[in-house]
């Protein structure tokens, strides 16, 4: 039963009392009518006994109703609160029969989901701090020897350019040196703070430029790229290079997930947080409004629950028809060095850099199954104030 149609405790108990009282009155009248011909000494004890039995039965029914309507849901709520006090935020409170306890169950479940998301976010921050310290040490301890090896490989190539059989191993050596350098640069990009000079950037324009760049390079030549960009004024306060890196990494990840042919769908729109919240309050079996193609995750719940959560935000969805992401890997894919690709095909830093960049911009990102059959990466970003104006921020000198 939908939450807004559940009766209150008062209505349920009032209904039970009315039915019990009506049954008692009918039983008394019927008993007196059936025993009218009996002597008074026999008639009245029968009436009193019947009234007592009916009252006892009514009390039993009322007690069971009180247990179902109040005691049982209260026990579930207390058990969930005890679990939260022990640090267990996985216990969910089942739906109740009345609106009051059903609302309480919904609030407790939202609270546990937000606490779980906050705990995961805290763990990611701690991992990021650890990775920063590690990256600083690795860049010094490994970077210099790798540079020296690269120089020696170059000298070796120059001295053996006329020696048969040396080109292939030297090519392999330089290729692996380049791979080490790429991993190191990715690690530093993920972990180290940088001096930023952000400005309002229209995300749709960035997406178009990235698609044009990858198309010119032939990366998306065999793919069907479907653009559904509906936020021409949707600007976020960021560095253009960071946004380009986000969408390039997501596009390359989608390309790698498909074998030659496939479809990539990119959607963008400006959404309202109130409507977004109304959508996620629905049960999974209830239809969502048409504008919500994807159901929010726990990350979105925690993001919306923040005091600084924006009233309007930009939503970008990048979906593909590839192999998708296993549910158990939905969070791990944003961890550094975790990769589902074959060894040597990726560094495991691309999606970690994407998630770190989005969070630094005040947004959130998650992955789920796409309608196209593969993975759908959903990004929520706070809008810059200039998005409320009709002027395009990147082309206006009046925008800070």
Q: For residues 223 and 91, state if they share a domain.
A: no
For residue 346, give its domain range. Answer: 199-395
CA distance 371 to 177: 40
Q: Hey, which residues does 313 pair with through a beta bridge? A: 271, 382
pLDDT digits (tens, 9 = 90+) for 187-212: 666 666 566 678 899 999 999 999 98
Q: What is the mean pLDDT of residues 5-28?
A: 72
Question: Per-residue pLDDT for 230 more than 80?
Answer: yes
Sign of CA dihedral 352, 357, 360, 365: negative
pLDDT digits (tens, 9 = 90+) for 53-73: 777 777 777 777 777 777 788
Q: How many helices and strands in the chain, by DSSP H and E?
A: 11, 7
Q: For residues 78 and 204, state if they share a domain.
A: no
Is pLDDT larger for residue 393 or for residue 71?
A: 71
Is pLDDT larger for residue 234 or for residue 278?
A: 234
Indicate the length of the chain as a whole number: 400
Range in 57-71, 123-137, 251-265, 357-371 with the lowest mean pLDDT? 123-137
Query: 215 in a domain, yes or no?
Result: yes
CA distance 365 to 123: 16
Q: For residues 106 and 209, state if they share a domain.
A: no
* Residue 236 pLDDT level (bands cut at 50, 70, 90): very high
What is the reported pLDDT for 276?
65
Query: 21 in a domain, yes or no?
Result: yes
Which of 138, 349, 363 lies closest to 253 in space, CA to CA?
349
Range in 8-22, 101-115, 235-249, 349-363 with the lowest mean pLDDT? 8-22
What is the reported pLDDT for 207?
94
Q: For residues 240 and 374, state if they share a domain.
A: yes
* Residue 283 pLDDT level (bands cut at 50, 70, 90): very low
Query: 58 in a domain, yes or no?
Result: yes
The answer, as to whether pTM is greater than 0.75, is: no
User: What average pLDDT is seen over the chain?
Assistant: 76
Q: What is the mean pLDDT of residues 131-137?
A: 68
Is pLDDT larger for residue 115 or for residue 364?
A: 364
* Residue 250 pLDDT level (bands cut at 50, 70, 90): very high
Is pLDDT larger for residue 113 or for residue 275?
A: 113
pLDDT digits (tens, 9 = 90+) for 59-115: 777 777 777 777 788 888 888 888 888 877 777 888 777 777 778 888 888 788 777
Q: Parallel, antiparallel, or unpaired for β 199-202 and 235-238?
A: antiparallel
What is the reported pLDDT for 193?
58
Query: 207 in a domain, yes or no?
Result: yes
Query: 144 in a domain, yes or no?
Result: no
* Contact indicator for 380, 259 with CB cutoff of 8 Å: no
Query: 129 in a domain, yes or no?
Result: no
Q: For residues 235 and 89, state if they share a domain.
A: no
Query: 224 in a domain, yes or no?
Result: yes
Q: For residues 216 and 357, state if they share a domain.
A: yes
Q: Hey, which residues does 369 pair with through a beta bridge? A: 375
Question: Per-residue pLDDT for 270 more than 80?
Answer: yes
- Stretch (H or E) spanning 275: helix 273-281
Q: For residues 228 and 369, state if they share a domain.
A: yes
- CATH for 321: 3.30.565.10
Q: For residues 324 and 206, state if they share a domain.
A: yes
Q: 113, 147, 163: which is the final residue of a domain?
A: 113
Which of 381, 353, 349, 379 lies closest to 367 in space, CA to CA?
379
For residue 368, what are the contacts with CB-CB under 8 A and spacing of at least 6? 294, 295, 297, 330, 375, 376, 378
Percentage of the residues of the chain whose pLDDT score is greater than 90: 10
Q: What is the mean pLDDT of residues 367-390?
A: 80
What is the reported pLDDT for 286?
38
- DSSP E strands, 300-347: 312-320
Q: 54, 83, 113: which is the final residue of a domain?
A: 113
Long-range contacts of 191-199 (CB under 8 A, 24+ apart): 191/128, 191/131, 191/132, 191/134, 191/135, 191/136, 192/132, 192/135, 192/136, 193/132, 196/239, 197/239, 198/237, 198/238, 198/239, 199/237, 199/238, 199/239, 199/393, 199/399, 199/400
* Contact indicator for 47, 35 with CB cutoff of 8 Å: yes
What is the strand order of the sheet 223-229 is part of?
Answer: 223-229, 262-272, 312-320, 375-382, 364-369
Range in 172-186, 278-292, 331-345 with the lowest mean pLDDT? 278-292
The domain total for the chain is 2
Q: Hey, which residues does 223 pair with through a beta bridge? A: 262
Query: 19 in a domain, yes or no?
Result: yes
**What is the phi/psi pair of residue 392, to 5°?**
-75, 120
Question: Per-residue pLDDT for 347 more than 90?
Answer: no
Range in 158-167, 178-187, 196-205, 315-324 with the lowest mean pLDDT? 178-187
Angle between helices 143-159 and 167-191 (to 10 degrees): 160
Q: 69, 97, 113: which is the final residue of a domain?
A: 113
Q: What is the mean pLDDT of residues 115-140?
A: 70
Percentage of the residues of the chain whose pLDDT score is greater than 70: 77
């Amino acid at each position: 039963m939908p939450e807004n149609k559940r009766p209150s405790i008062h209505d349920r108990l009032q209904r039970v009392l009315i039915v019990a009282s009506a049954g008692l009155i009918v039983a008394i009248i019927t008993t007196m009518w059936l025993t009218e011909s009996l002597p008074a000494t026999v008639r009245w004890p029968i009436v009193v006994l019947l009234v007592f039995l009916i009252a006892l039965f009514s009390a039993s029914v009322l007690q069971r109703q009180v247990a179902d309507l109040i005691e049982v849901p209260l026990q579930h709520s207390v058990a969930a609160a005890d679990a939260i006090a022990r640090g267990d935020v996985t216990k969910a409170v089942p739906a109740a029969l009345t609106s009051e306890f059903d609302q309480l169950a919904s609030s407790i479940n939202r609270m546990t989901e937000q606490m779980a998301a906050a705990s995961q976010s805290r763990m990611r921050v701690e991992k990021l701090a650890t990775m920063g310290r590690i990256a600083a040490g690795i860049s010094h301890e490994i970077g210099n020897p790798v540079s020296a090896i690269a120089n020696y490989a170059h000298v070796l190539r120059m001295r053996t350019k006329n020696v048969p059989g040396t080109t292939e191993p030297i090519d392999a050596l330089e290729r692996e040196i380049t791979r080490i350098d790429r991993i190191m640069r990715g690690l530093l990009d993920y972990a180290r703070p940088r001096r930023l000079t952000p400005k309002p950037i229209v995300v749709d324009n960035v997406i178009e430029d990235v698609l044009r760049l990858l198309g010119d390079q032939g990366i998306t030549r065999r793919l069907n790229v479907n653009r559904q960009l509906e936020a021409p004024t949707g600007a976020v306060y960021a560095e253009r290079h960071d946004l380009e890196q986000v969408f390039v990494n997501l596009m390359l990840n989608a390309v790698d997930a498909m074998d030659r042919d496939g479809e990539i769908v990119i959607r963008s729109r400006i959404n309202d947080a109130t409507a977004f919240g109304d959508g996620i309050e629905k049960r999974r079996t209830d239809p969502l409004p048409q504008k919500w193609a994807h159901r929010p995750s726990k990350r979105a719940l925690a993001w919306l629950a923040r005091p600084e959560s924006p009233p309007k935000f930009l939503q970008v969805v990048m979906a593909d028809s590839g192999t998708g992401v296993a549910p158990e890997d939905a969070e791990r894919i944003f961890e550094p060095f975790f990769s589902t690709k074959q060894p040597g095909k990726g560094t495991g830093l691309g999606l970690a850099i994407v998630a770190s960049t989005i969070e630094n911009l005040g947004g959130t990102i998650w992955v789920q199954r796409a309608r196209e059959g593969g993975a759908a990466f959903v990004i929520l970003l706070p809008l810059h104030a200039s998005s409320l104006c009709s002027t395009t921020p990147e082309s206006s000198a009046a925008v800070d």
